[in-house]
Amino acid sequence: MAEVLLFHHALGLTGGVHAFADGLRRAGHTVHVPDLYEGRTFADVEAGVAYAQEVGFGTIVARGERAAEGLPEAIVYAGFSLGVVPAQKLAQTRPGAVGALLLSACVPVAEFGAAWPEGVPVQVHGMDADPFFAGEGDLAAARELVAGAADRELFLYPGTAHLFAERGTADHVPEAAALCAERVLCFLDALKG
């Protein structure tokens, strides 16, 4: 079974993020879900992003890095949207990563000054017409990340929703969320680490 460090999105550590983590736990995985917002949650993405901007994205990423301290090196880094930033940075720069799960976002690999580490599989999940994912460069970054690598996969789901995998949001798309969760569990079950 895998150990996972799961970072929340711009809405904060919501019930939907906990529900996703609980689904992984029910399958036998160990999941850590740190609160990068120190107890704050938001009703819409714009308000959550405004908070992240106010605090500073560097601070949010540093909180994510601190959350990894004391955890095993052999871990899967996962994130929803904004949470992809610390997850992807850690997967690329912290030794020992065994995998990465990037949901609704993907950062260009060059952003973290390092190539994607050999032998670290990754799944990227997003909606093909999500204005944030498809319209702001994340889809292009994901395509570049997975190009020519057998252990890197991009899964596109039809639709425009951003937080499609999270129950309790207006963006939730049950069919896509169920398929995403199934693929994530298969990914985790296949890992050696």
Per cent of the chain over pLDDT 70 is 99
pLDDT of residue 90: 97
Q: Say whether pLDDT at 32 is over 90.
A: yes
pLDDT of residue 72: 95
What is residue 147's three-state secondary structure?
A: coil
Q: Say whether pLDDT at 84 is over 90.
A: yes
Per cent of the chain over pLDDT 90 is 93
The edge-to-edge listing of strands for the beta sheet with 3-7 is 30-32, 3-7, 76-80, 99-103, 122-127, 152-157
pLDDT of residue 192: 61
Give the burial string for 77-100 (b: 16+ CB within 10 Å, else e): bbbbbbbbbbbbbbbbebeebbbb
- The pLDDT-based confidence of 73 (bands split at 50, 70, 90) is very high
Q: Structural domains in the chain?
A: 3-190 (3.40.50.1820)
pLDDT digits 0-9 by tens, 100-150: 999 999 999 999 987 899 999 999 999 999 999 999 999 999 999 999 899
Q: Could you give the CA distance from residue 78 to residue 187 in angstroms, rounded to a whole number?
A: 12
Give the burial string for 23-55 (b: 16+ CB within 10 Å, else e): bbeeeebebebbebbeeebbeebeebbebbeee
Average pLDDT score over residue span 84-101? 97
- The pLDDT-based confidence of 175 (bands split at 50, 70, 90) is very high
Q: What is the pTM (predicted TM-score) of this model?
A: 0.96
pLDDT of residue 113: 82
pLDDT of residue 115: 87
